[in-house]
Structures are given as C-alpha cells and as structure tokens.
Structure 1
Amino acid sequence: MRLAGRITDWNDDKGFGFVVPTGGGARAFVHINEFQRGSRRPLVGDLISYFPVVDARGRTNARQIRHAGQKMEVPRAPSRVPRAALGLAILSAGVAAAAFDLLPAVLVGIYIAMSVVSYLMYRSDKIAAQTEAQRVPEANLHLADLLGGWPGALVAQQRFRHKTAKQSFQMIFWATVALNLVVAAWLLRSGMFAEWAGRIGG
C-alpha cells in the first residue's frame, strides 16, 4: 500500500533522509536512488508518496518514491553506461594481456587487488548509508579508484546502485579514471614501472 508523508530529515551530500507518514506511523529511511528518474533533489518538508518495506532488521525503508503530484514513471531505459560489464571486461582484458606478455602481470595484479578493495569500500558505504552508520569518506573512495580500483568501483556502483545519481561524485570519479590511465601509460612507456617492479622483485 502506497503511503504519503513528509521528509523530516535530509542530508543532500549523502543522499538520504527520513520520511514520516501523514497521520502518524513509523518513519522510513529514504535514499536518493529510490526516487523516479528525472526527479528533482528532495528537500526537508517535501510531500512524497512511497511503498514502505520492512527489511530483515525490522527497519522501514521507502521504495519507489514519487514527489506529490508526480506522474507514474515509465519503465527505465537501460543505463547508458553498463558499469558492471565495463569493469569486468577491463579486468578480463588486463588478465588476457598479461597472459600474452602485453602488460606486466604485476600491474594487472595491482588493478585486480585495488578493484577488490574499492568494491568492498563501496559496499561498506552503501550498507552504512542504509543503517545510519559511519560512512566511508568520499575522498577515500576516490583515492582507491585513483590507485587502480576504478574497475571494481564500476561493478560496485551498478551492483549496489550507489553514487551513480550524484553528479559531483561522478565527475570526480571519471577524472580519477582518466588520471589513473594517463599515469599508468606514462609509467609503462617511460620504463619506470619496469624498473620499479624489478627492484621490488629483486
């Protein structure tokens, strides 16, 4: 049953808040990703409608949120950026390139390891957002992506529907991807990576 209520708390930087149903009742957790595509950013005091869903821990979450008077959304078109497929394809291509000695195995290993780290950090931050726990600082997420974890971040962003709607985050994210690729290409062409890897191996 769809309920109507007003947003009583909203943290726009983190993209979540709470709604109290009209007429009283349990407040529900609200996340930006549950709003219809094309919705404006919510504000404290906004009247919304939503489906209340109780999770395994007994907490009420607002799903399929619409602003008051907003029409029923049409089915969402597939994402323009197939993030998970892109991230996995890049890692797979790196493994194949290393197998044919086209890329240093150490470099590919770094990307895989950092991708796992980045994936787990995004997962942890998503869980924290849903449970009101301490969040992972965005600077830490960007640093992990900059150090080679961005393929794993792509998978996590799609898998957990996390950080994809925040344009400021996405701008910095793609900047870290570009910077990482530029630095990696320079290290390979200059021979500095081979020299560094040789010292580590020796």
Structure 2
Amino acid sequence: MSLKGVVSQWQDDKGFGFLQVEPNKPRVFFHISDYIEFDGRPENGMVVQFVLRQGDAGQWRAGSVQCVQKPTAQKRLQSDGRHKNQNQGDVGTVGRMVFVVVLGLLFVGTLAYFSEILAVWSLVMSILSFSAYSSDKKAALRKTWRVSENRLHFQDLLGGWPGGLLARHVWRHKVSKTSFVITFWLTVVLNILAMVWIWRHLGEILPTFI
C-alpha cells in the first residue's frame, strides 16, 4: 500500500533524509537509493508517495519513493539550512563525477599507452556497461524486467567498469547495496590484473587481430 509524506531534513551531501507522514508522528528514514525518480533529487518540502519496508535490521524505512509534487519556492526558503546543504551536496556530487570521469579516462589512457586494442576494447565495453546500468535504472522505475546483476558484473569484469562506475553515479543506481558494491570493486581489481597479464604475455601478438 502506497503512503504519502513530505520530505524533511533531506541531507543531499550524505544521500539520506526523512519523510513526515503525519504531524507529531515518527519520521520515516529513506536513502537516495530508495528514490526512484529518473531525473532530479529529493528536496525538503517535496510531497512523495512511498511504500514501507523493513531493512536488514528489522527497522521500518521508505522504499520506492516517488515525487508527487515539488516544493514551492516559499517552502524551499522556509526549510532550515536548505540552501547551504544543497550547495554542499551539489559540490560533492560534481566532485564525485569529476573523480569518476578522470579515473575512467586515466585507465583507458593508460591502456592506450601500452595497447590500443585493449583501450578500444575497454571503451566499447564501458559504453555497453553504461547502457546496461541505464536500462536497469529505467526498468526499476517502470517496474519492468530488470537487467540481472550477473550481467552487470560480467560486463564490468570484461573491461566495462569505467562505464559502469560512471552510470552508477550519474543515475545514483546500485550505490548502496553492500554486496553489489563489493563485487563491483572486485571485478575492477580482477579486470586490471587481467589487462596487465594480457599485455605482458600477449602484447606482441595483439596487433595481428586488427
């Protein structure tokens, strides 16, 4: 059953906040990963609909949070510390995006220095991985058939992790599930080791495949 509430004390830099369902009632926690709007971010004063679900520790939290009505300019101004927190959140988001892009370019650029074929391969796989994450995010919003996590991990393992990493931060998708995050970074390490091995042992014959 869907409930309605108002976003209160949203901390964009930390990626979580609370929903006030009724006055003088306990607020409901929700994380940015529970927010399934494809564009935009939660804001204080925003009216949303959501479902209650239990977390791993048995506590109640909001899930499938969707925007019903965005806050008016007056409500934004009335939210304590809203502008300060939003600016800090925007700076933090931009910083993370810049880091991700630089990391991806550095990886592909390093590959290109040693082997153009490996760099092109990683670039193509990154595009495919970015597309897969984007499709999964859209499917989550539409509640349709999802892209399997095994497929996402497999594409990352094959060299598409720069695109996967970028997509995760662009869409705020698959960023809070601990098991997924651990497996993702494991695929990154394994892919880098595999690229090094391929270059050292097969580097001389790679150009014959062009």
TM range (shorter): 0.5 to 0.7
Shift of 1:34: 2.9
Aligned residues: 152
Shift of 1:103: 1.9
1:200 matched residue in structure 2? 209
Name the CA distance, whole Å, in 2 between partners of 1:165 and 1:42. 16
Shift of 1:169: 0.2
1:53 to 55, 62, 67: 67
Name the CA distance, whole Å, in 2 between partners of 1:122 and 1:194. 34
Shift of 1:53: 2.4
1:152 matched residue in structure 2? 163
1:3 matched residue in structure 2? 4
1:183 has 2:197 as partner: no
Taking the TM superposition and a 5 Å limit, the aligned residue runs for 1:104-143 are 104-143=115-154
2:106 matched residue in structure 1? 93
Secondary structure class of the residue paired with 2:67 = strand
What code does the residue aligned with 1:114 have?
A: M
What code does the residue aligned with 1:194 have?
A: E
Shift of 1:112: 0.7
Name the CA distance, whole Å, in 2 between partners of 1:143 and 1:184. 15
Gaps of 5+ in 1: 6-20, 23-29, 55-59, 61-71
Shift of 1:105: 1.2
CA RMSD of aligned residues (A): 4.0
CA contact (8 A) 1:3 1:50 kept: no
Shift of 1:189: 1.9
1:166 has 2:166 as partner: no
Shift of 1:43: 1.7
CA contact (8 A) 2:125 2:160 kept: yes
In terms of fraction of residues, the more helix-rich structure is 2
Aligned-residue sequence identity (percent) comes to 28
CA pair 97-112 structure 1, distance change in 2 beyond 3 A: same
Give me the TM-score of the superposition, normalised by structure 1.
0.60
1:68 matched residue in structure 2? none
CA contact (8 A) 2:53 2:61 kept: no
CA pair 87-149 structure 1, distance change in 2 beyond 3 A: farther
CA contact (8 A) 2:53 2:62 kept: no
Name the CA distance, whole Å, in 1 between partners of 2:63 and 2:186. 36
Alignment deviations for residues 53-100 of structure 1 (CA, whole Å, 9 cap, x no partner)? 24xxxxx9xxxxxxxxxxx99947636x92x3344223433565567x
CA contact (8 A) 1:3 1:52 kept: no
Name the CA distance, whole Å, in 2 between partners of 1:51 and 1:152. 26
Name the CA distance, whole Å, in 2 between partners of 1:50 and 1:117. 27
